[in-house]
Chains A and B, each alone.
Chain A
């Protein structure tokens, strides 16, 4: 049981004992908020309220406030939606797929990554909801509930409806998975709590967890089955998102490569966002012993691989456009690269295909600053990818008289800002009040892969 492979690096450094693990994670929950946290929270609340104004105006006056026109009926809203959903892929991938593959390094990052997933999906759900124009009626368009029109049911042949089912299922299952993992850690906080209020709150959240062997046995079975269920689910979500485009007949959207290409892109951007957040959390909470350079390097390798898959997909799209011999398809791709939106296309190419190739150098993929900067570059690139796919395919309509350009209004930008405010407000609240690292799982790998065992060899 204590055997570790000599080629593997240790997962937890600094000769931690079990008690050190509890203490290192719980003390941030128990301490008073520090000024840095308050400043970060104030900033995100600022973004939330500033952007909230744009959202309120949109709800009051309608989506005419956006920069959409007759030709381009989908732009920033759907770009932001797909971008946030993509980011929301890393968490469940880390906790489910890596659990099935027995990758123990996931234990340090899964908690925060899952939290990020849930918050990103909340941000994503906002956009289709407000794009309906009348969100208070949208239940009738998304959910098959009896109504006074017949009942006139929702259209189950539509990919947009599949999307609603996919994302709401993904959100629910991710939330449940995350919460199941949190229960034992809430119990640790409950048993350490000294004041009545936190004892009561964490007591309720811990569901009376006592760590009995029988409960742990069931817990492990539940985690494994949830991982098995969540794995195809992760792959299905962005597949179905891509079908919103791929099942249409718009040149540039009507391609069979979309599902795998979108899934790879989603994992790519999700891991980048996990790195952006984890590098900051690690620094602020002094978690260098738990999230080591080794973890960061492994995540960078995943970014490099998925980035390359995305690159291959871009090139395949170009090849297929040429090889298909379809004039419309060929024009769509030529127009992307050389038309009025060339800058967006080349921004996407540079950020998504070229920049992750830098991770072939060990020096770069083990450098914190390089990782931090590239993780942001990747997400800028992924935003442009969605913008390029959506806007460049639409802006050249079938009739040249309908050709148009899209320019966002401050309301488009404001709502995007709102989604950032929402995301970071939720994430900072999580970082303060929840254990940011899964203590129970770290303890379970401590014995087989901590510095202490290393010293004994």
Chain B
């Protein structure tokens, strides 16, 4: 995050108050920077207007890649590079390849999806968390509004947050 940004931060006690607050604040033409919650609040992504995550498509793509790679690997090794007759089976015996194909599909799909998740959400061991309020990982829901991106003044935003049920309103500079 670039330095010199000003935020106004509303702290909420309860998830249903937060949800109605998000609705009200977005309704009065204010852009919310982001909400930070200690646990997944259902419906919050809809209220904030976030689109459905496409990460499951990534998982599918990785899975398909795994399926193809596993088939190609086994067809090459068992059928082309060093064909051997084992148990009277064909060199390329698809049924006996299925278990490994399934496992490789699942493995690649899971690892690929999780890697995608880490990259797009910027999760890595040395990443610095954006902490608007330290209690957001414990028991408080936090709503951050970027002052530069809104026309309303600090006072107007504060009273708007207060009216929507925020128990505490702070300012935060990054």
Interface check B168, CB cutoff 8 A = no
Bound together, the chains give a CA A323 to CA B83 distance in angstroms of 40
Chain A residue numbers with a CB within 8 Å of B43 are 1
Instruction: Give the interface segment out of A122-130, A229-237, A304-312.
Output: A229-237
Contacts of A18 in B (CB 8 A): 38, 138-139
Bound complex: CA A206 to CA B130 (Å): 13
In the complex, the answer to whether A150 meets B82 with C-beta atoms within 8 Å is yes
A7 contacts partner chain B, Cβ-Cβ < 8 Å? no
Q: Mark B74-95, 1 if CB is under 8 A from A, else 0.
A: 1001100110001101000100
Which A179-235 residues sit within 8 Å CB-CB of chain B? 180, 183-184, 187-188, 190-192, 203-222, 224-226, 229-230, 232-233
User: In the assembly, what is the distance between CA of A441 and CA of B121, in Å?
Assistant: 20
Size category of the binding interface on chain A: 35 or more
Q: Does A98 contact B (CB under 8 A)?
A: no
Query: Could you tell me the distance between the alpha carbons of A156 and B103 in the complex, rounded to whole angstroms?
Result: 13
Cβ contact of A208, chosen from B36, B41, B56, B122, cutoff 8 A: B122
Asked if A316 is at the interface (CB within 8 A of a chain B CB), the reply is no
Chain A residues, CB < 8 A from B127: 207-208
A213 closest partner in B (C-beta): B35
For residue B81, which residues in chain A have a CB less than 8 angstroms away from its CB?
Answer: 151, 153
Indicate which residue in A154, A155, A225 contacts B55 across the interface (CB closer than 8 Å). A225
Cβ A208 vs Cβ B40 within 8 A: no
Which B142-168 residues have a C-beta within 8 angstroms of A?
A: none
Do A191 and B134 have beta carbons less than 8 Å apart?
A: yes
Query: Quick one: which of A157, A213, A240 contacts B87, CB cutoff 8 A?
Result: A157
Asked if A404 is an interface residue, CB under 8 A from chain B, the answer is no
Segment at the B interface, from A77-85, A169-177, A347-355: A169-177
Bound Cα distance A18, B117 (Å) = 27
The yes or no answer to A250 lying at the interface (CB within 8 A) is no
Partner of B89, one of A157, A176, A230, A243: A157
Chain B residues closer than 8 Å to A229, beta-carbon distance = 59, 106, 109-110
In whole angstroms, what is the CA distance A190 to B129 when docked? 10
Report the minimal beta-carbon distance from A199 to chain B, rounded to whole angstroms. 11
Contacting pair A22 B138 (CB below 8 A): yes
Interchain CB contact under 8 A, B35 and A443: no
B44 touches A213 (CB 8 A): yes
Complex: A443 Cα to B137 Cα, angstroms: 11
Contact, CB under 8 Å: A153 / B77: yes
Does A152 sit at the interface, judged by CB under 8 A? yes
Nearest A residue to B96, CB-CB: A157
Known: A191-B134, A443-B38. A233 touches B118 (CB 8 A): no
**Residue of B at shortest CB range from A21?**
B139
Q: Is A441's CB under 8 angstroms from B39's CB?
A: yes
Asked if B8 is at the interface of the complex by the 8 Å CB criterion, the answer is no
Residues of A within 8 A of B113 (CB): 222, 225-226
Majority DSSP secondary structure for residues of A touching B = helix
In the complex, which residue of chain B has the Cβ closest to the Cβ of A173? Answer: B110
Contact for B99 among A165, A192, A206, A207, CB less than 8 A? A165
Given A207-B123, A213-B41, A222-B55, A162–B100 Cβ distance below 8 Å? yes
Closest chain A residue, CB of each to CB of B132: A210
Q: Does the CB pair A187–B129 fall under 8 Å?
A: yes
A444 within 8 A of B: yes
Interface pair A221/B53, CB less than 8 Å apart:
yes
- A22-B138, A218-B53, A226-B113 known; A212 and B126 CB under 8 Å? no
User: Does B171 make an interface contact (CB < 8 A)?
Assistant: no
Q: Which of B16, B102, B109 has the most chain A CB within a 10 Å cutoff? A: B102
Please state if B96 and A208 are interface contacts (CB–CB under 8 Å).
no
A213 vs B48: C-alpha distance in the bound complex, in angstroms? 9
Cβ–Cβ contact A240 & B99, under 8 A:
yes
A440 at interface, CB cutoff 8 A: yes
Across the interface, which residues of A come within 8 angstroms of B39, CB to CB?
184, 216, 440-441, 443-444
Known: A188-B137, A208-B128. A213 touches B50 (CB 8 A): yes
A402 at the interface (CB under 8 A from B): no
Check B38–A217 contact: CB distance below 8 A. no
Check B137–A180 contact: CB distance below 8 A.
Answer: no
Please pick, from B37, B86, B106, B124, the residue contacting A155 in the complex, using a CB distance under 8 A.
B86
Chain B residues with CB below 8 A from A443, complex form = 38-39, 139
**Contact indicator B55/A212 (Cβ below 8 Å):** no
Interface flag for A313 (CB, 8 Å) = no
Residues of A within 8 A of B136 (CB): 210-211
In chain B, positions 1-36 with a C-beta closer than 8 Å to chain A are 15-16, 34-36
Q: Is B68 an interface residue (CB 8 A)?
A: no
Chain B residues lying within 8 Å of A144, measured Cβ to Cβ, are 73, 77
Q: Which residues in B have their C-beta under 8 angstroms from that of A157? A: 78, 86-87, 89, 93, 96
Q: In the complex, what residues of A have CB within 8 A of residue B120's CB?
A: 218
User: Is A19 positioned at the interface, with any CB of B under 8 Å from its CB?
Assistant: yes
Indicate if A166 sits at the interface (CB-CB under 8 A). yes
Chain B residues with Cβ below 8 Å from A226 are 110, 113-114
B residues in contact (CB < 8 Å) with A: 15-16, 34-45, 48, 50, 53, 55-56, 59, 73-74, 77-78, 81-82, 86-87, 89, 93, 96-97, 99-100, 102-104, 106-107, 109-111, 113-114, 117-118, 120-131, 134-139
6 more A-B residue pairs beyond the given contacts A207-B127, A217-B44, A443-B39, with a C-beta to C-beta distance below 8 A: A162-B99, A208-B126, A213-B48, A213-B50, A226-B113, A444-B39
User: Across chains A and B, which 8 residue pairs bring their CB atoms closest together, nearest first?
Assistant: A208-B127, A18-B139, A207-B123, A162-B99, A443-B39, A153-B77, A444-B39, A217-B45
Interchain residue pairs with CB less than 8 A apart (22): A17-B139, A155-B86, A157-B86, A158-B86, A162-B99, A165-B99, A165-B104, A169-B107, A184-B38, A207-B123, A209-B129, A209-B137, A211-B136, A213-B36, A213-B44, A216-B37, A218-B55, A225-B59, A225-B109, A229-B110, A233-B103, A444-B42
